[in-house]
């Protein structure tokens, strides 16, 4: 399934993500993975903040410039943890394995990955692809491919 959104503010981008986060259901086969793909400043972190809001995360989401991964424990959710991964600084795709990638890929987790195109070969088959396009300074086109529900 493909959905397309045009947003005219960071807040609007967050709301799109927040709504999606609230719809998420666990699957037996594996985790819910969001591959966030788009140029610098296109809205990946902003969207991820919306996901975190929708999941009830109160902690601030940062751009993990020097960290590859951050984990947030979820309460009041049928998922256990939310992972924020940023592959911007990854030197080679295999380096993703160093954070315990195989373990993170568990049905109890939700994983959102910035610059996910850098680890394409390690993404599960049913990854939800979220692409960001800068239309103008305030406008983004967000294309979501994959089964959200």
Ligand X SMILES: Nc1ncnc2c1ncn2[C@@H]1O[C@H](COP(=O)(O)OP(=O)(O)OP(=O)(O)O)[C@@H](O)[C@H]1O
Residues 73 and 81 sit within 8 Å (Cβ to Cβ):
yes
**Ramachandran quadrant class, 101 (left: phi over 0; alpha: psi -120 to 50; beta: rest):** alpha
Least Å from the CB of residue 132 to Mg ion: 10
Site for Mg ion in 99-138 (CB under 5 A): 114
Rounded distance between C-alpha atoms, residue 1 and residue 147, angstroms:
6
Determine if 8 is a binding residue for ligand X (CB under 6 A). Answer: yes
Could you say whether residue 38 binds ligand X (CB under 6 A)?
A: yes
For the chain, the residue count is 149
Segment near Mg ion (CB under 5 A); pick from 38-46, 65-73, 90-98, 116-124: 38-46
Q: In this chain, which stretch among 50-58, 72-80, 103-111, 138-146 interacts with ligand X, using CB under 6 A?
A: 138-146
Do the beta carbons of residue 19 and residue 142 sit within 8 Å? no
Q: Min. distance of Cβ 111 from ligand X in angstroms?
A: 16
E strands in 10-68: 32-37
- Given the rule CB under 6 A, which residues bind ligand X? 7-10, 12-13, 38, 40-46, 63, 114, 138-140
């Amino acid at each position: 399934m493909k959905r397309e959104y045009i947003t005219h503010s960071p807040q609007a981008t967050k709301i799109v993500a927040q709504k999606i986060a609230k719809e998420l259901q666990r699957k037996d086969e594996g985790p819910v993975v969001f591959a966030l793909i788009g140029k610098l400043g296109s809205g990946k972190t902003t969207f991820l903040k919306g996901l975190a809001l929708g999941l009830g995360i109160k902690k601030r989401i940062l751009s993990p410039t020097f960290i590859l991964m951050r984990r947030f424990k979820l309460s009041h959710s049928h998922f256990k943890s939310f992972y924020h991964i940023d592959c911007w600084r990854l030197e080679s795709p295999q380096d993703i394995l160093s954070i315990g990638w195989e373990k993170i890929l568990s049905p109890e987790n939700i994983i959102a990955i910035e610059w996910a195109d850098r680890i394409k070969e390690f993404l599960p088959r049913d990854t939800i692809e979220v692409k960001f396009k800068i239309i103008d300074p305030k406008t983004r086109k967000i294309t979501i491919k994959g089964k959200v529900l």
